[in-house]
Structure 1
Amino acid sequence: MPDTRERPVVFFDGGCPLCRREIGHYRRLDTAGRIDWRDIHADAAALEARGIAWEDAMRRMHAVDEHGRVVSGAYAFVATWRHLPYYRVAGAVLHRLPPVVWLMDRVYNVFARSRWRSRCRDGVCPPPPL
């Protein structure tokens, strides 16, 4: 049976200083290049191919896991952590504990709404180039 896994993709807002710092930390750990990092602030085209609306991706972190499933919020973090040194064990454990990830996602929602309001109010987040 062929392996249907693909390289995970992480979509992030490269125009957000906090997001850039966090993703920069993860990218430095990803020395093996296991994850395809996509800055949606610079290039939103990859979102369309995955059926993700730009505004949804700006509101919550999105990723495509190794099986091609689109996940967002805490689920996207867990999918990312499963491929990074120092986070791999936490990602594997959390992947097997859906109620914990669900709770993490509720907390993430509070943060994400606050980030969206502070970052994107008054048109600071322009829509992607056509």
Structure 2
Amino acid sequence: MITVFYDGKCGLCAREINHYRKIAQPDRFNWADVASHPQMLEGYAVSQADALRYLHAVDADGRVHKGVAAFALIWNEIDGWRRFAPMLAWPGVRHVAEAIYALFAHVRFRSYRHCRLAGTAPKMRED
């Protein structure tokens, strides 16, 4: 099962995740809204601020995928989107997609108050 960490308070993000939920096999994904349920991140080396800034997905082996890599992981498991996942591995496409996504994520993160607040919260200690 793939766990997807997303910002449920972001309208665009929530619409996209809801689209995936409707078309994905129900037993393939665990959808975790980290804006409302930050405790879902416990056990992963991902802060709430980072999870709000970038889409994250954890594969069946426990590896965390971030940003474009998370989209590729998700798309690879959804009919209709599966054919696009390999394109994100192409060198030129990957580089451009990552640059565009990083810019979008930065602007979106600064635009939402709940993201800015999470970004200023004290970091949790990892012992």
- Tell whether the structures are fold-level matches, with TM greater than 0.5: yes
Matching of residue 104 in structure 1 with residue 100 in structure 2: no
Q: Could you say if the C-alpha distance between residues 46 and 124 of structure 1 is closer, same or farther in structure 2, counting changes exceeding 3 Å?
A: closer
Of stretches 98-107 and 64-73 in structure 1, the one that deviates more from structure 2 is 98-107
Q: Could you say if the C-alpha distance between residues 112 and 95 of structure 1 is closer, same or farther in structure 2, counting changes exceeding 3 Å?
A: closer
Superposition misfits of 4+ residues, deviation over 3 angstroms: 123-128
Q: Could you say if the C-alpha distance between residues 95 and 115 of structure 1 is closer, same or farther in structure 2, counting changes exceeding 3 Å?
A: closer
RMSD: 2.0
Q: Could you say if the C-alpha distance between residues 37 and 124 of structure 1 is closer, same or farther in structure 2, counting changes exceeding 3 Å?
A: closer
The within-5 A match list for 1:36-115 is: 36-91=30-85, 93-94=86-87, 96-115=89-108
Match of residue 30, structure 1, among 4, 24, 27: 24
TM-score by length of 2: 0.82
Q: What is the deviation of 1:39?
A: 0.6
Gaps of 5+ in 1: 1-6
Q: Tell me how far apart the structure 2 counterparts of residues 54 and 42 of structure 1 sit (CA, whole Å).
A: 10
Paired residues of 2:57 and 2:66 also in contact (CA < 8 A):
yes
Structure 2 equivalent of residue 15 of structure 1: 9
Q: Give the number of equivalent residue pairs.
A: 119
- The share of aligned pairs that are identical, in percent, is 34
- Give the 3-state SS of the residue equivalent to 2:72 in structure 1: helix
Q: Tell me how far apart the structure 2 counterparts of residues 125 and 23 of structure 1 sit (CA, whole Å).
A: 22
Gaps of 5+ in 2: 122-127
- Give the 3-state SS of the residue equivalent to 2:42 in structure 1: helix
Q: Could you say if the C-alpha distance between residues 14 and 74 of structure 1 is closer, same or farther in structure 2, counting changes exceeding 3 Å?
A: same
